[in-house]
Amino acid sequence: MRIELLNSRLSNQIAAGEVVERPASVVKELVENCLDAGATRIDIDVEQGGVKLIRIRDDGQGVHKDDLALALSRHATSKIKELDDLEHIVSLGFRGEALASISSVSRLTLTSGTAEQDTAWQVRAEGLTMQPVVEAAVHPRGATVEVRDLFFNTPARRKFLKTEKTEYGHLEEVVRRMALSHFGTAFYLRHNQRSVLQLKAATTLAERERRVASLYGPAFMENCFPVEMSRNGLDLSGWVGLPSFSRSQADQQCFFVNGRIIRDKLVTHAIRQAYHDVLFSRRHPVYVLFLSLDPALVDVNVHPAKQEVRFRESRMVHDFLFSALHRAIADISPDSIAESPGSVSPGAQLSQSISASTNTVSLFPGQGVSELESKASTPTLTPAPQQANFALLSEAGERSSAPNSGINRWQSPMQVDTLGVREQLAIYNRLSSETRSREDASGAGDVFTAQEEVPPLGFALAQLLGIYILAQDAHGLIIVDMHAAHERITYERLKSTYSEEQIVSQPLLVPISILVSEKEARFAANEEALFLSLGFEIEQLGPEMVTVRQVPALLRNGDIETLVRDVFAELMEFGISKRVENDINKLLGTMACHGSVRANRTLAIPEMNALLRDIEQTERSGQCNHGRPTWTRMDLKELDRLFLRGQ
């Protein structure tokens, strides 16, 4: 077999196999060209999911008449000239393959007008079976690309397309993500002559938030908080969701690098680690984040469809993303949520989404309580006793052994501790001479006029079923899972204490030998200091063997070999490993769970209030370390709707 050059048609169709996967791929490439041309408005018309027609019009700079035919050739571009340009790419497109690849598998027409030309011009090509034809046309400044009959000359490729609904779904998602990356550009999308998206240019913060809300729903913005951080030339901004506002799929995650949407394992790993001990199992966080950095520090030329990038300082980027989001999540407090009464409290959205997915409702007291909590008898409605003979929950796991023999655990719900309630009301009455004023019968307004003097989680009123604390704040009713809340408080204190002492190592009585790859063995030999910082002493014994001589003291009884292999994998891929920290935190979490107040433990009013104040001052207090919500709020409007008040 002799070596021959491929003809231009075949080489373009091979390139099309990399660039043009489906109609959504065509839209992505063409919209990127529009944005690179400085468009402030982009109109997108598609028919039959984009298979029959894709027409994209912009008001950008346009293409000069003499460049129209050349624009359909491979490796023809105005965006880079030399090698230095390739190392500092600031445009979305740069290879010059998109139009050539698309025209090789469709019937393409490009019409354009520029500010320097009095007449617009048009070029047509059909699967590269003929020379491009250029002729005069009528068109304002800008360009229109019309793609008809996608894959008409490659029927095998067309068979791999899905239904019209599926293909259009992918296409619309591309437009939504492009609209999120360029707020200053207006986007209009129509499918089968029906208007789907009408997004005006968004220049102010309020307009940008409205665009995000229109694309992902109002609940997205109500349950997200802004993030903005800069360090070492890296700038991160955008919105991330509350841990409680999670989803069963990773379908509301957008990450942009210098305006380019990407999917990157390093980025995903860093964000997932930031949510590690606040996210309910098998749930996915939501976010729209923008990372800006020097173009020389990121290589965007590593994927044919430009969906992946490679960072020159990957460890620095990973550490920056993790620390920024980890800190932002830690700073979420009942106080910050109380400042936005329209937002959903930690317990509401998660319970709604999980209930909807399981379609089950428990009617039995105590069902759903963890195994550690369920050791006590059947929970009952037990109001707080007048005798405050329990120590305040000021320290993790500490509790008084005073007997509770004088309390009837089966008393009637009507036998409430009226003295305790009166005490709470007295506190409110001291806050303002005009407390407890309602505005109207519709339930608008707050319970108390002196809102600024009421703590974010209000004051305790009673216990419910031995599991929950009922409290009243300036906006309505607060319900606290006392075990979950105390577990988070205890857990954070244990983590803080342990971090101050650093990782303590313990030598193994019998060193453990592990068979590894040559690459891993060399890595162990070259990174002894890094492993020591994680609490390990690891030596290379041979080309494919290492020995572990000491490990973190808290993990000495764990599966050492699996732990070491996981640490190897993370360090070699991401340059950083959270495996040891996560395992230690898991152990501390177990200790916190055992040391926290159990279900059916009767608390006095002062104890409940002490717990509420601790929640307000503890990081990540909206969730326990298993990701379960610790408290939820029902405001007056929601309560009034339940009882049809004002209707």
CB atoms within 10 A of CB 183: 17
Residue 548 pLDDT > 70: yes
Q: Is 394 in a helix, a strand, or coil?
A: coil
Mean pLDDT along residues 121-129: 80
At residue 350, the pLDDT reads: 53
**Assigned fold of 217-337:** Ribosomal Protein S5; domain 2 (3.30.230)
DSSP state of 584: H
Q: Kind and range of the H or E element at 56?
A: strand 53-58
Q: How far apart are CA 74 and CA 491, in angstroms?
A: 59
- Band of pLDDT at residue 538, cut at 50, 70 and 90: very high
Q: How far apart are CA 57 and CA 373, in angstroms?
A: 62
Q: How far apart are CA 574 and CA 589, in angstroms?
A: 26
Mean pLDDT along residues 620-647: 86
At residue 180, the pLDDT reads: 94
Q: Which residue has the tokens 């989680």?
A: 457
Instruction: For residue 246, report the phi and psi dihedrals to the nearest 5 degrees.
Output: -105, 170
Instruction: Check the CA dihedral 427-431-434-437 and report its sign.
Output: negative
Lowest mean pLDDT among 384-388, 453-457, 510-514, 637-641: 384-388
Same fold yes or no, 217-337 and 500-593: no
Two tokens, residue 282? 């098998």
Q: Which residue has the tokens 């008393």?
A: 411
- Band of pLDDT at residue 203, cut at 50, 70 and 90: very high
Tens digit of each residue's pLDDT (9 = 90 or more) over 320-353: 999 999 999 988 877 666 555 445 566 655 555 5
What does the DSSP assignment read for 525-568? HHTHHHHHHTT-EEEEEETTEEEEEEEEGGGTTS-HHHHHHHHH
Q: Which residues contact 360 (CB under 8 A, 6 or more apart)?
A: none
β-strands 631-635, 120-126: how paired?
Answer: unpaired
Q: By the 8 A CB rule, do 575 and 265 touch?
A: no
Convert 339-367 to b/e letters by CB count within 10 Å (16 or more is b).
eebebbbbbbbbeebeeeeeeeeeeeebe
Residue 439 pLDDT > 70: no
Mean pLDDT along residues 313-324: 92
At residue 305, the pLDDT reads: 66
Residue 41 pLDDT > 90: yes
Q: Which residues contact 590 (CB under 8 A, 6 or more apart)?
A: none
Higher-scoring residue by pLDDT: 342, 110: 110
**Percent of the chain whose predicted confidence (pLDDT) is above 90:** 36
Two tokens, residue 114? 């520029």
Nearest to 127 by CA among 24, 9, 26: 9
Higher-scoring residue by pLDDT: 128, 88: 88
Mean pLDDT along residues 559-584: 82
Two tokens, residue 178? 């492009």
- Band of pLDDT at residue 21, cut at 50, 70 and 90: confident
Crossing angle for the helix pair 314-330 and 560-574, nearest 10 degrees? 110
Nearest to 290 by CA among 266, 255, 323: 255
Lowest mean pLDDT among 45-59, 62-76, 432-446, 477-491: 432-446
Average pLDDT, the chain: 79
Tens digit of each residue's pLDDT (9 = 90 or more) over 381-405: 333 333 333 333 433 333 333 333 3
Nearest to 243 by CA among 164, 370, 346, 94: 346
At residue 391, the pLDDT reads: 34
Tens digit of each residue's pLDDT (9 = 90 or more) over 45-83: 999 999 999 999 999 999 999 888 888 887 777 777 777
Tens digit of each residue's pLDDT (9 = 90 or more) over 246-301: 888 888 999 999 999 988 889 999 999 999 888 877 889 999 999 999 988 988 87
Residue 155 pLDDT > 60: yes
Q: How far apart are CA 540 and CA 531, in angstroms?
A: 12
Q: Which CATH class is domain 8-198?
A: alpha beta
- In this structure, the chain runs to a length of 647
Q: Kind and range of the H or E element at 198?
A: strand 194-199
Two tokens, residue 314? 């990957």
- Band of pLDDT at residue 26, cut at 50, 70 and 90: very high
Two tokens, residue 469? 């604390």
Tens digit of each residue's pLDDT (9 = 90 or more) over 576-604: 777 787 788 777 787 777 777 777 788 88
The CATH superfamily of 500-593 is MutL, C-terminal domain, regulatory subdomain (3.30.1370.100)
Q: Kind and range of the H or E element at 221?
A: helix 218-222
Q: By the 8 A CB rule, do 44 and 175 touch?
A: yes
Q: How far apart are CA 156 and CA 169, in angstroms?
A: 22
Q: By the 8 A CB rule, do 103 and 9 touch?
A: no
At residue 20, the pLDDT reads: 86
Chain centre distance of CA 277: 14
Distances (CA, A) of 571 to 201, 315, 520, 522: 43, 10, 10, 13
Residue spans of the domains in the chain: they are: 8-198, 217-337, 500-593
